[in-house]
Amino acid sequence: MANGQIVIGANQENAAFPSGLCAERSAIFAAQSQQPEQPITTLAIAASNDEGLLKDPITPCGACRQVILEMEDRYKRPIRILLFGARAVYAVNSVKDLLPLSFVDANMR
C-alpha cells in the first residue's frame, strides 16, 4: 500500500461454489476494509501446490482483473502487478495491460 504496509490475502475455498474468494480479492478487500484511504501500489501474486511454487507465473482471473481496474480508477493511479513463477516473474505496470477494452464506470452512464 502507499504507506508501505503489506496486506496478505489467500485463496478461500468453499464447498458451496462460488462462495469462496480469490487471494487477490481477499487481499484487496482486506486492505480496503482496514485502510480505505490508502491506495494500493503493488499487487504480488503467487501460487503453490504440493511441489512448491508453480513453475509458470500465475495470473489473476477476470473478476479479480475487474476489481483491480476499479481500484486503479478509485485512486487515479496504476497498480503494479508482479506475477511470480519458479521459472519467471512478470511485472506489469497496470491491470490495463491484462484487461484491454475493459468495462468501466463510464460505460454505465
C-alpha closest to that of 53 among 92, 98, 81, 89: 89
In the complex with Zn ion, the residue whose CB is nearer, 92 or 106, is: 92
Determine the 3-state secondary structure of 47 from DSSP. coil
Q: Which of 2, 30, 61, 88 binds Zn ion (CB under 5 A)?
A: 61
In the complex, least distance from residue 68 CB atom to Zn ion, rounded to whole angstroms: 9
**Does 64 contact Zn ion by CB under 5 A?**
yes
Q: Which amino acid is at 51?
A: E
Cell of 82: 508482479
In the complex, least distance from residue 109 CB atom to Zn ion, rounded to whole angstroms: 27
**Does 22 contact Zn ion by CB under 5 A?**
yes
Cell of 35: 485502510
Q: Which of these ranges, 10-18, 47-55, 59-67, 94-102, lies near Zn ion under the rule CB under 5 A?
A: 59-67
Q: Cis peptide before 57, with omega less than 30 degrees from 0? A: no
Contacts with Zn ion by CB under 5 A lie at: 22, 61, 64
